[in-house]
Structure 1
Amino acid sequence: MSCNTASRSPIIEHYQSEEMAALGLPFSDAVRVDNMLYLSGVIGMKPGKMELVEGGLEAEARQTMENIKKVLEAHGSSLEHAIKFTVFIDDINRWSDFNKVYVEYFPGKKPARSAFGAEGLALGASVEVECIAVIVD
């Protein structure tokens, strides 16, 4: 059995949108490692504003998914190429309310997913979602 011992440095790129930079947020929207894209936690913020959309959990969930879609597409991926989601929800008893929105974005094959009840999400959000996706160059 032989092993390839040639080493190569991975491609690592940090992406911060102008929108997030203008808000002064101290993190990257996403980090690319080779052909993988790791998104920071995303909440239902109105585009370009440090405030949540109005309407509660379902409205926040929809805006969260739209925000994720935007970041994925800006960096060479898409919801179709998302492979793992981690969902943090402030009231795990409202899981089905989140799922009503989530399935709209994944009517066919669905990514792997974990969910956790969480307290104290950013801006008092009802839901926060992390995503891992493949970049399709």
Structure 2
Amino acid sequence: MAGEPQIHCVNPADAAPPGGHYSHAVTAGGFVFISGQLPVRPCGTHAPEADFTTQANQALANLFAALAAAGASRQAIVKVTVYVTDIADWPVFNALYAQAMGEHRPARTVVPVPVLHYGYRIEIDAIALSR
């Protein structure tokens, strides 16, 4: 229909399928909106008992997989929100994030939360520019 917004839902082949009624990413209006990415392994198995570094690296990998499937790069990220269940993990995440992002420094927010799904310690969402 003419005038309808162009919205495209994206679920990367190299990531676990969404665990609910959502898409890993949606492109609309020149942006890519990445849903909250938990540290779920690409095969769909869970490991909430994994150490924080392992969880953070998997959540970042899931975020980057959704971004790539939407046709965008890390350098296109404009805003990141990170949810952590223990603010004491923030310095570890910050170091991992800095290594993963390199010189690119999008806007970022950290939100301490009491609990995350499946007992995970971190979840990450983002907004990026689409091509």
Residues 17 and 107 of structure 1: is their aligned pair in 2 closer, same or farther, counting only changes over 3 Å? closer
Q: Would you say the 8 A contact 1:16–1:27 is kept in 2?
A: no
Q: How far is the alpha carbon of 1:107 from its aligned partner?
A: 1.6
1:109 CA displacement: 2.3
- For 1:70 and 1:11, the matched residues in 2 are separated by 22
- Partner Cα separation in structure 2 for residue 70 and residue 25 of structure 1: 18
The RMSD of aligned alpha carbons is 1.9
The runs of at least 4 consecutive aligned structure 1 residues that moved more than 6 Å come to none
Q: Which structure has the greater CA radius of gyration?
A: 1
Q: Which residue of 2 aligns with 1:111?
A: 106
C-alpha separation between the residues in 2 aligned to 1:94 and 1:105? 17
**Which residues of structure 2 form unaligned runs of 5+?**
none
Q: Is 1:125 matched with 2:120?
A: yes
| Cα distance change, pair 104–53 in 1 and its aligned pair in 2 (3 A) | farther
Alignment map for 1:2-41 (pairs within 5 Å): 8-17=3-12, 19-20=16-17, 24-41=19-36
In structure 1, the gaps of 5 or more residues are 1-6
In structure 2, give the amino acid aligned to 1:130.
D
Q: Deviations over 1:102-126 (max 9, x none)?
A: 1111120211000110122011111
Are the equivalent residues in 2 in contact too, given 1:46–1:53 (CA < 8 A)?
no
